[in-house]
Amino acid sequence: MGFSVTLYDHLFTHVATRIDPERAHHLGFRAVRLGAPALRAAHAMLGTTGSPVEAMGIRFPHVLGLAAGFDKNAVGIDALGSLGFGHVEIGTVTGLAQPGNPQPRLFRLPADGAVLNRMGFNNDGAHAVAERLRRRAARAPGADAPVLGVNIGKSKVVPDDDQAAVEADYETSARLLSPYADYLVVNVSSPNTPGLRNLQAVEKLQPLLEHVRRVADAATGDRRVPLLVKIAPDLADEDVDAVADMALAGRRDDVLDGVIATNTTISRAGLSTPAEDVEALGAGGVSGRPLTARSCEVVRRLRERIGDRGTSGLTLIGVGGITTVDDARERLDAGADLLQGYTSFVYEGPGWPRRIVRGLED
């Protein structure tokens, strides 16, 4: 493992950092997909890593999954699972296909172990992704396939102040994608779609979640798909409390099953990268190590507010700045039931998920 880490570090430093980050992502993801059969064979010989976790009525192979944003279009779910992720969250998928924001829109901040992005929900749209998931389901990916989360968001052209239009837009994605999802996530927290974060206000969020719940239930029949909401780290503490209270009410009404905390931050506080360099990159959300403290704090505040999972019935998924085994343990100690990563996967390489899971077992 030491050799592979050194090799990845060398490739990342001397090759990947000289390529546009978005292009490097596509090349790396293609390599993962091409190498998946060999990875599956190797891991079958090594055996399963991690202890199963029960959450939302689902048996997760272990606590660590891949956050939304890496596989936006459901093109490599099982290949990513072969790297050691116990669950893979695809998306964010929108009702309408959209190109996202103009390039360049993805930037590395190596001094901070961070990424700045303003992708803008670039994706193929719910109809195309649903067809891809239908074909995957027909192939019967097998018992070792990762748990599949589907993250849905608002199409850019839909105005956030038109509640009926917003609900209709999310309805398209929920109706088409729920039948293939092990769990569904309503994303109202990306900073890169104008007006999206306004939907985090409880008076807008609650009816939206209730509508998505009804649509998902109608689309899946007897199989109830767990529903979560993903929130931003930039919420004020009183707004985090309001989300917690709404989540508890939603759990009692059989609407909501959990909260994912947190998405990227618009804050630039505490970065080691020179301020003028960061400013030159422009707008976007920061992910990675700068999120560690605040994301952990939000998880802890949510858990204290909602109580333990056995009492509340709510699942908390901690994401944001989880780089080391100690980070992962701290997030679990703060009250997370499951964990997700993305930026550390980019910086640490394909061996990262198994190192985290193995470290937690040790």
Q: Which domains occur in the chain, in start order?
A: 2-361 (3.20.20.70)
- Residues 316, 337 contacting (CB under 8 angstroms): yes
Q: According to the model, what pLDDT value does residue 7 have? A: 54
Confirm or deny that 230 is annotated as ligand binding.
yes
Confirm or deny that 101 is annotated as ligand binding.
no
Give pLDDT tens digits for 202-229.
999 999 999 999 999 999 999 999 999 9
Residue 14 pLDDT greater than 60, yes or no: no
Confirm or deny that 3 is annotated as ligand binding.
no
Give pLDDT tens digits for 57-88.
999 999 999 999 999 999 999 999 999 999 99
- Residues 92, 69 contacting (CB under 8 angstroms): yes
Least confident span in 5-19, 159-173, 186-200, 321-335:
5-19
Q: According to the model, what pLDDT value does residue 68 have? A: 98
- Quote the CA–CA distance of 217 and 313 in Å, as a whole number: 19
Residue 2 pLDDT greater than 80, yes or no: no
Give the chain's mean pLDDT.
Answer: 93
E-strand stretches of the chain: 53-55, 58-60, 64-66, 87-94, 106-109, 114-117, 147-153, 183-187, 227-231, 258-261, 285-288, 315-319, 338-341
- Residues annotated catalytic, as ranges: 190
Confirm or deny that 262 is annotated as ligand binding.
yes
Confirm or deny that 282 is annotated as ligand binding.
no
What are the counts of helices (DSSP H) followed by strands (DSSP E) for the chain? 13, 13
